[in-house]
Amino acid sequence: MSWTFSQMFGDSSLSGDDLFDEDTLTCLEFNEDGDMFAVGDQAGRVSVYQQSIDSYASLVQFQSHEPEFDFLKSEEIPESINALQFLKRQSESVFVLSANGWFLEFFLSQSLDKTIKLWKIKQKRMASVSDSMDLSRLSIPSVEFSDWIYSTSCRQVYFSAHEFPISSLSLNTDNETFISSDYFRINLWNFNAPQECFSNHSGESEPTQVIRYCTAQDREFENIK
C-alpha cells in the first residue's frame, strides 16, 4: 500500500508566530459514508467538509461551545472540542454530536460541566418579496430565492453527567441511543432524554485504570468470539 498527498486545508504560508492557540485542531471525525468529515478546534468551533468530485470543500463552520466559568469552584470550563460523532443520515439534514473539555486540565477541572450537544445542519434557501410595486394597477408581489445555504441549530444539550473531559462518543445501532465516556465513566444516553442517562462508574476512590476510548458494538456481531 502506498500513500500520496491529496489535499491541504488552511494557509500553508503561515508561520508559527501567525498561529494562535485557539486555532489548534483537537479532533476529526468522518461520517459513515466517508463523504463528509468534521473538525473541532480549541476555540470550540466545528468545521464540516463535504466531498465534491475529487476533493473536499468547506460546507459550514459553527460555534459549538463557548467558554464558561464555574463561580462556585472558581475554575474555567474550556470550550475545546474533544469528540465528534456523525449520526446515520436518514434525510437531507446532517446531525452531529460534539463534546467539550480539555485534556490538559484533567487534574484541574473536575466539575460536572462537560456538555454534549446535538447539532442539525440543514440546507435551505432564503426567500424575499420584491418591493417593486406598481400602484396604478393591481399586481401580485414576486418572491425571489437566494442561493442554497447551510444553517445550523442546536437541537439538544446533554449535561451534568461527566466529571472529567469527555474522550469519545459512539452511536448505537438503534439510532436512538449513544454512549459517551471520560476517564472513569461511561454513560448511555437517549437522544430524546437529555436530562438523564444510565451511568457505569468505577466507584473506586483511587482508580488504577482509565478509559481511553469507548465504542458501541454492532448487534449483528455481538455473539461472535
Give the pLDDT score at 123: 85
To which CATH superfamily is domain 23-131+140-221 assigned?
A: YVTN repeat-like/Quinoprotein amine dehydrogenase (2.130.10.10)
Residue 192 pLDDT level (bands cut at 50, 70, 90): very high
Exposed, middle or buried by CB within 10 Å (0-12, 13-18, 19+), for 41?
buried
Please check whether residue 112 is in contact with residue 139, taking contact to mean a CB–CB distance below 8 angstroms: no
Give the model confidence (pLDDT) of 52-105 as tens digits: 888 899 999 999 988 776 666 666 767 888 889 999 888 889 999 999 865 443
Residue 38 to residues 46, 53, 66, 184: CA-CA distances in angstroms?
7, 18, 18, 26
Give the pLDDT score at 109: 36
Residue 114 pLDDT > 50, yes or no? Answer: yes
Range list of β-strands (E), 31-74: 36-41, 45-51, 56-63, 68-70
- Closest to 30 measured CA to CA, from 89, 102, 80: 89
- Closest to 100 measured CA to CA, from 63, 52, 139: 63
- What does the pLDDT average to over 162-190? 87
Residue 120 pLDDT > 90, yes or no? Answer: yes
Per mean pLDDT, which of 77-81, 153-157, 205-209, 218-222 is the most reliable? Answer: 153-157
Give the pLDDT score at 5: 82
- Would the pTM of this model clear 0.85, i.e. be above it? no
Give the model confidence (pLDDT) of 24-51 as tens digits: 888 899 998 999 999 999 889 999 999 9
- What does the pLDDT average to over 158-164? 80
Parse the chain into domains and list their residue ranges: 23-131+140-221
Give the model confidence (pLDDT) of 147-158 as tens digits: 778 889 999 999
Residue with cell 406598481: 134
The b/e string for 90-124 (b: 16+ C-beta within 10 A; e otherwise) is eeeebbbbbbbbbeebeeebeeebbbbbbbebeee
Q: Which three cell numbers stand for residue 149?
A: 445555504
- What does the pLDDT average to over 7-27? 76
The radius of gyration computed from the CA coordinates of the chain, to the nearest angstrom, equals 22
